Amino acid sequence: MTDVTAAIHTRLWRAGELEVEDFPLEQISNHLASRDCLVWVDVCNPNHENMQVLAGELGLHPAAVEDALAHGERAKATRYGSYTFLTAYGTTLPSTNRDDPDATSLHLGRVSVFVFPRGIVTVRPQDDFDMEEVVRRWDASRDLLALGVGALVYGLLDVVVDSHFDAVQALDDTIEGLEDGLFDDGAITKEIQRRTYRVRKDLVQLRRVVLPMRELVNTVLRHRHDFHAPSDLDPWFDDLYDHVLRASEWTESLRDMISAIFETNLSLQDTRMNTVMKQLTAWAAIIAVPTAVTGFFGQNVPYLGFGRPLGVYLSVAIIVGAAGLLFAQFKRRGWL
């Protein structure tokens, strides 16, 4: 199979100002060795040749290169000698057609990051992570870029965490819609069940990428001085960690809410079934009255009004009176 051509983008800043773009990969190590440079390299759809060039230029550990290319890696942070390796997932949850239970839901965009003292290298297996938003954040925070590579790491992780918040908010809105329809007598039970199942699947996927972010950001906080992050960035990283905790707690609360909705829906189905059974039982009891009376008056033996119009009047009166009495009793008890 022919490798897909990788999309490579490079940038170099000095004192927070962009100086060079799209320089060759072979120049990465030279720029990283310069003290006044800040370097970013992005490789999208990497192939074996690209990664070998990067590994040779930067001295990357084979395990880190394998993790950057492998599928299904969990969000994590690992320290390798002179650099830190990160894997994180951005999330998108389209707000349109969220009422459609069969609509495509949560999308994950993976990015792996090699953090060096004077630059970072991002590797994206597919073009499904919003790197343009990361670049916009960097361009809008030139004062932070002057503080070094820690600003690049913060900007990227901030975009990741914000995407988690957007996904959690969208799921929260969907759950509120489920709650509104849960007690609606006109709601279709099967549709609620399908939508609830879809939200539960989305939450399972979301938890897999949100919860490990606590460990990832905590590792970055512990090792931020290894890539010379100044103390001026500490408030930004502390705020980022706070956002990670909030996203994790919000995700956990949504899981409890969707479980409660699922259980409540089952309980309401049982309640509605009991109501239907009571109504059927009540009507069966009412219908049994004329059946019993007509059967009694159909006997071939003399009884009051036998062979005379009185018998008809008497049977009709008994049927109407007994059925009306049963109807009134069932209505008063809420069975009808």
Distance separating alpha carbons of residues 92 and 168, to the nearest angstrom: 10
At residue 306, what is the residue type? F
The reported pLDDT for the residue numbered 138 is 92
- Pair 284, 149 in one domain: no
- Pair 116, 222 in one domain: yes
Domain's final residue, options 269, 289, 305: 269
Per-residue model confidence as pLDDT tens digits over 197-220? 888 888 888 999 999 999 999 988
* Domain-located, residue 165: yes
- Pair 298, 228 in one domain: no
Q: Would you say 181 and 192 are in contact if contact means Cβ atoms under 8 Å apart?
A: yes
Comparing C-alpha atoms, which of 85, 34, 87, 36 is closest to residue 59? Answer: 85
Domain's final residue, options 269, 292, 310: 269
Q: Is the pLDDT of residue 306 over 70?
A: no
* Domain-located, residue 152: yes
Comparing C-alpha atoms, which of 123, 3, 10 is closest to residue 60? Answer: 123
Q: What size, in residues, is the chain?
A: 336
* Domain-located, residue 161: yes
Domain of 294? 272-333
Domain's final residue, options 269, 299, 321: 269
* Domain-located, residue 216: yes
19 in helix, strand or coil? strand
Distance separating alpha carbons of residues 174 and 169, to the nearest angstrom: 9
Could you tell me how far CA 258 lies from the centroid of its own chain?
12
Query: Once rounded to an integer, what is the mean pLDDT over residues 296-320?
Result: 68
Distance separating alpha carbons of residues 226 and 37, to the nearest angstrom: 17
- Pair 190, 319 in one domain: no
Interacting residues of 68 by C-beta distance below 8 A, sequence separation 6+: 46, 51, 85, 87, 112, 114, 123
The reported pLDDT for the residue numbered 185 is 63
With bands split at pLDDT 50, 70 and 90, how would you rate the model's confidence at 332?
confident
* Domain-located, residue 2: no
Q: Would you say 151 and 126 are in contact if contact means Cβ atoms under 8 Å apart?
A: no
- Pair 216, 309 in one domain: no
Q: Is the pLDDT of residue 323 over 70?
A: yes
Adjacent-strand bridge partners of 121:
41, 114
Distance separating alpha carbons of residues 175 and 263, to the nearest angstrom: 14
- Pair 286, 226 in one domain: no
- Pair 182, 296 in one domain: no
Tokens 């007994």 sit on residue: 322
With bands split at pLDDT 50, 70 and 90, how would you rate the model's confidence at 284?
confident
- Pair 55, 182 in one domain: yes
Tokens 């009571």 sit on residue: 278
- Pair 136, 244 in one domain: yes
Q: Is the pLDDT of residue 190 over 80?
A: no
Per-residue model confidence as pLDDT tens digits over 240-255? 999 999 999 999 888 8
* Domain-located, residue 102: yes
The 10 Å CB-count burial string (b at 16+, else e) for 111-133 is bbbbbbbbbbbbbbbeeebbbeb
- Pair 248, 281 in one domain: no
* Domain-located, residue 197: yes
Distance separating alpha carbons of residues 102 and 195, to the nearest angstrom: 8
Q: Would you say 199 and 258 are in contact if contact means Cβ atoms under 8 Å apart?
A: yes
- Pair 126, 141 in one domain: yes
Q: Is the pLDDT of residue 82 over 70?
A: yes
- Pair 150, 231 in one domain: yes
Structure tokens at 200: 């539960």
More confident residue, 255 or 179: 255
* Domain-located, residue 1: no
Number of domains in the chain: 2
Here the CATH number for the domain that contains residue 50 is 3.30.460.20
At residue 184, what is the residue type? D
